Amino acid sequence: MTASPHSKTNPGNYFEDFHLDQEIVHSTPRTVTEGDQALYIALYGSRFPLHCSAEMAMDLGYDDMPLEDMLVFHMVFGKSVPDISLNAIANLGYAECVFGVPVYAGDTLRATSRVIGLKENSNRKAGVVYVRTTGVNQDDEVVVDYVRWVMVRKRHPGDDSTPLNPPEIPELTDVVPAADLIVPDGLDLNDYDPELVGQEHLWEDYAVGERIDHHGGMTLEDAEHQMATRLYQNTAKVHFNHMFQAQGPMGRRLIYGGHIISLARAMSFNGMANGFRVAAINAGAHVNGCFAGDTIQAWTEVLDKMELPDRADVGALRLRTVAVKDRECGDFPYKDEDGRYQDGVVLDLDYTVLMPRRV
């Protein structure tokens, strides 16, 4: 017991602190409330009616109005930050993200992660950590489960006193198969009323290759992304500390990538309004950083249409939603011929939504 400075402050894990199959229990269980959902609407303007109307949700077989899927994702992600990515250089990707049971106000969420891959950089300054993070409710039912990989600083950058370990890279699927998508228990869309949603297009009406400009456009504010990111209890310094950031190459606070995902998802209502549930995230990349003052717009391409086992009332659409900043989406900006992202692209998200079928 000494009184030395820093002795009790969590400095976060460095690359050397991780080992394969390591299990990490993340702190601070969180009881989610109607207050969280109200803030989510205030932050993103989401209008997907399942998350706005308890009446409609219960009519379709839910126990109550479920929280937004991406709100659940951010809450679980946030819990993992102090242990996984406090010393991260970059959040590199997501895969195999499956949303589980619905989350209702009053549920208490906890999260754990398992290290499933490690790859030290050849410069010995950092390494990539692959984790599978699982969020559960008070009954230990999985609410979301996903893999992410992140480049983490070494505690002793450049230390080459030990030989470089061979990389351990997990095998990851490109897309969550239809059979693994979770349709909430009790859901019955036979009486789904698109008029409540204000858009008539259902699963049958979308074609693979179809592209939709969602119009809209939201200008980012520091007060907004900070409130969002704190709501998720995500503690990454880059989002909050202007003094620190001003000294770095960005010169200002970097916005949490999940904030952009939620904005893009909310914007996608205009054109995909009946895509009532995010069932999976197949892959995702934050192509460029976003900052206060940037204006975000988004468009979506239908990548695939999937039937679901034993369901005639609901199908799945695999989508790519691309978010851009400070430009329009009418020309569907994405990649150049050489495969490089075009100027202004900030998010490339490959995910799967559930949508009612015509019955």
Q: Give the interface segment with a second copy, choosing from 51-59, 115-123, 126-134, 152-160 (CB under 8 A).
A: 51-59
Structural contact between residues 254 and 335, judged by C-beta atoms closer than 8 angstroms: no
Q: Which tokens sit at 207? A: 């074609």
Amino acid at 31: T
Site track for a second copy across 148-177, x = CB under 8 A: ------------------------------
> What Cα–Cα distance (Å) separates residue 190 from each residue in 29, 54, 165, 197, 311?
37, 18, 55, 15, 11
What CA–CA distance (Å, rounded) separates 117 from 282? Answer: 18
Nearest residue to 81 via CA among 22, 24, 141, 8: 24
What CA–CA distance (Å, rounded) separates 56 from 187? Answer: 12
Q: Is 241 in the site for a second copy (CB under 8 A)?
A: yes
Q: Is 82 in the site for a second copy (CB under 8 A)?
A: yes
For a second copy, the binding residue among 221, 307, 336, 343 (CB under 8 A) is 221
Q: Is 20 in the site for a second copy (CB under 8 A)?
A: no
Nearer to a second copy, 83 or 96 (CB): 83
Residues 6+ apart with CB under 8 A from 163: none
For a second copy, the binding residue among 16, 22, 54, 311 (CB under 8 A) is 54
What CA–CA distance (Å, rounded) separates 60 from 65? Answer: 10
Q: Give the interface segment with a second copy, choosing from 30-38, 174-182, 309-317, 348-356 (CB under 8 A).
A: 30-38
Site track for a second copy across 326-355, x = CB under 8 A: x---x-x-----------------------
Q: Give the interface segment with a second copy, choosing from 124-132, 200-208, 281-289, 309-317 (CB under 8 A).
A: 200-208
What CA–CA distance (Å, rounded) separates 144 from 280? Answer: 9
Q: Is 248 in the site for a second copy (CB under 8 A)?
A: no
For a second copy, the binding residue among 237, 335, 340, 358 (CB under 8 A) is 237
For 102-124, b where at least 16 C-beta lie within 10 A, e where not — what string? bbbbebebbbbbebbbbbbeeeb
Nearer to a second copy, 285 or 303 (CB): 303
For a second copy, the binding residue among 14, 15, 30, 94 (CB under 8 A) is 30
Window 275-304: residues binding a second copy (CB under 8 A): 293, 295
Chain CA centroid to CA 250, Å: 23
